[in-house]
Structure 1
Amino acid sequence: MTNNKLLLGVDLGGTKIEAALLNRDGEVVHRKRSPTPIDSYAGLLSKIRRLCEDLESSAGLSRPLPLGICTPGSPSPATGLMRNCNSTILNGQLLRADLESRCGRPVRIANDADCLVLSETSDGAGSSARSVFGVILGTGVGGGLFINGALLQGPNAVSGEWGHNRMPLERLPALPDQLLKPRPCYCGRLDCIETWLSGPGLALTHERLHREPINVEQLHSQQLDAKHRETLSAYTQMLAAALAGVINIVDPEVIVLGGGLSNIDVIYASMPDLLQAQVFSDISLTEVRAAQHGDSSGVRGAAWLW
């Protein structure tokens, strides 16, 4: 198969790295995953190189492809150094230049939420909308904006980074008192939306409510027990309050949820009524949808960077 028929993407997550080859119709033709090295930057670069080379070998390619990579953060427009990564080993690194040197190929970088929204507006849950806010609910919380056919890219390269606004707890008076102890964020601030709506944030909510670890399988059960139902009720209220702030500013037609927590069905059943109570309008018409391409949205969006 010739190189110009395939695109190469890598999704650099907090717990796993996924590499994939896409054809020009957006179909994943080869895929490989591996755990993310969390304590070695050099090991991380080597792992990405091996994944890319293994995929190219499996596809019978003779020359390296350009690489698109989505990351839990972004390069600074001033220095090129990575910043705002909850995978903190990346912060302060010249990731794009280091990957180009290590892998022997050109590299383009975008954050994971930008890649999600690029994938989902191309041929997914946001393909019919003029304005889409793409949300990552996973190890961290991020966002990306797609307006009138293009990703929104501002001068500070932080468009959509709602996860590091403060959670509007004052809009949630019904939350139990034991939840309201301040939550420090890796960014140095307190009570960032990420500390409440990420996977670790959800687990902490459950622990504070019930003094026991969360059961991930229960979150996806059709018959939730009372404890996990209470935890998800608190979570969806917080999610609606945080998303309402985005709607009040951007007013997107569609919000697409990606990341591991986006697979929890309860979120979608309750969101219309919860948003209606929070948005500064007499009606809330913004639709909240699950990413059509699920866990593949990040790697697909990364490949589409080329």
Structure 2
Amino acid sequence: MKWGIDLGGTKIEGIILDEAGTVIDRRRIDTQREGGYAHIVSRIALLVEEMKSATGLVPEHIGVATPGTIDPPTGLMKNSNTVVLNGKALGKDLEAAIGVPLTLANDANCFAVAETLLGGVPAAVPNAKVVFGVILGTGTGGGIVIDGKILGGAQGIGGEWGHMFLDNSGGYCYCGRVGCAEQILSGPAIERYYANLAGTYRTVKEIIPRYRAGEPHAVQAIDRWLHFFAKGIATIINVLDPDVIVLGGGLSNVAELYEKGIPQVVDHLFNPRMDTVFLRPELGDSAGVFGAALL
């Protein structure tokens, strides 16, 4: 059996797969991150106990998808937008709480490997060697998969395009720098930019219909988002040259991303054409937990 846990900012999801990949059990509970670090650890342990009780199964190993990543030299969490996790020995503390060995990986990496092995990549590009998985949602992240395996990197930050410099207009990021891609491409960044233009806060779900209706502030906000998406992802293609890019996160459902954003990518490429294939996600918001189980 393969056990996986996806630790998110608002929910924790668990899954058990048999050797054929069939779901044996799958459930979610609230993260309750406002309770602090120790409470989050206890919530993950509670979810594992619920899964054990429901199935009568006992895990030998669990994969865990985390926001942020483990720093290889220290074993401590870093770069998490659930900031109470940063600087903590999450792997060690979870193993003590649950009592089984764990493998931890960044949630974007888990998304990328799940879509590569279980999602649409095998059917669309069966010989794909390099896949880049993109998260566009509350945050902006990415994961690199080469020959079916996650490339975490020497510092554990492989694929972290959300914190590459994109444009000063993004302003300050929680990471302490200015102009990070996440501060331009994420849902909250779009909402913040729109509010500055219009003087009224609206969610992305409200902004998109206004964009389609031609409202000037919405048009400016979304066209800016599409421009910087193309510019940012072109940098990834110029460096990594992936066979496939899979787009995930809530914003991957916005049709204009495919109709207007992706066609602009070639404007920023070193190559005169774009051969990289862009795919929508097939596993939805559960890709992370499937990827965790594959760890």
For residue 153 of structure 2, what is the aligned residue in structure 1? 154
For residue 134 of structure 1, what is the aligned residue in structure 2? 133
Gaps of 5+ in 2: none
Aligned partner (choices 193, 196, 221) of residue 184 of structure 2: 196
1:26–1:220 Cα change, 3 Å: farther
Aligned partner (choices 119, 122, 145) of residue 117 of structure 2: 122
Deviation per CA, 1:119-155: give whole Å up to 9, x if none.
Answer: 0110213232211111111222111111233222321
- Distance in 1 between the 2:254 and 2:13 partners? 22
Matched letter for residue 51 of structure 1:
L
Using the TM superposition, give the Cα deviation of residue 217 of structure 1 relative to its aligned residue in structure 2, in angstroms: 3.2
1:88–1:31 Cα change, 3 Å: same
Using the TM superposition, give the Cα deviation of residue 50 of structure 1 relative to its aligned residue in structure 2, in angstroms: 1.1
Deviation per CA, 1:66-103: give whole Å up to 9, x if none.
Answer: 21111111111111110111110100000000000011
Matched letter for residue 83 of structure 1:
K
Aligned partner (choices 279, 283, 289) of residue 289 of structure 1: 279
Contact 1:132 1:254 in 2 (8 A): yes
- Distance in 2 between the 1:47 and 1:90 partners? 14
Deviation per CA, 1:162-181: give whole Å up to 9, x if none.
Answer: 11110146xxxxxxxxxx3x
User: Is 1:54 the equivalent of 2:50?
Assistant: yes
Using the TM superposition, give the Cα deviation of residue 272 of structure 1 relative to its aligned residue in structure 2, in angstroms: 3.4
For residue 87 of structure 2, what is the aligned residue in structure 1? 92
For residue 175 of structure 1, what is the aligned residue in structure 2? none
- Distance in 2 between the 1:115 and 1:68 partners? 9
User: Is 1:187 the equivalent of 2:175?
Assistant: yes
Identity percentage of aligned residues: 40
Q: Which SS does the other structure have where 1:226 is aligned?
A: coil
Deviation per CA, 1:218-273: give whole Å up to 9, x if none.
Answer: 46769933344443222111111100110111111111111222222221122332
Contact 1:268 1:289 in 2 (8 A): no
Matched letter for residue 31 of structure 1:
R
* 1:1-306 superposed matches below 5 A: 6-39=1-34, 40-61=36-57, 63-127=58-122, 128=126, 129-168=128-167, 180=169, 182-218=170-206, 224-227=212-215, 228-305=218-295
- Distance in 1 between the 2:31 and 2:231 partners? 32
Contact 2:3 2:59 in 1 (8 A): no
Instruction: List structure 1 segments (4+ residues) > 4 angstroms apart after TM superposition.
Output: 219-223
Cα RMSD (Å) of the superposition?
2.0
Q: TM-score, normalised by structure 2?
A: 0.91
- Distance in 1 between the 2:207 and 2:117 partners? 30
- Distance in 2 between the 1:232 and 1:83 partners? 31
Gaps of 5+ in 1: 1-5, 170-179
Q: Which SS does the other structure have where 1:18 is aligned?
A: strand
- Distance in 1 between the 2:88 and 2:252 partners? 30
Q: Which SS does the other structure have where 2:260 is aligned?
A: helix
1:236–1:299 Cα change, 3 Å: same
Contact 1:8 1:22 in 2 (8 A): yes
Q: Which SS does the other structure have where 2:33 is aligned?
A: coil
Matched letter for residue 133 of structure 1:
F
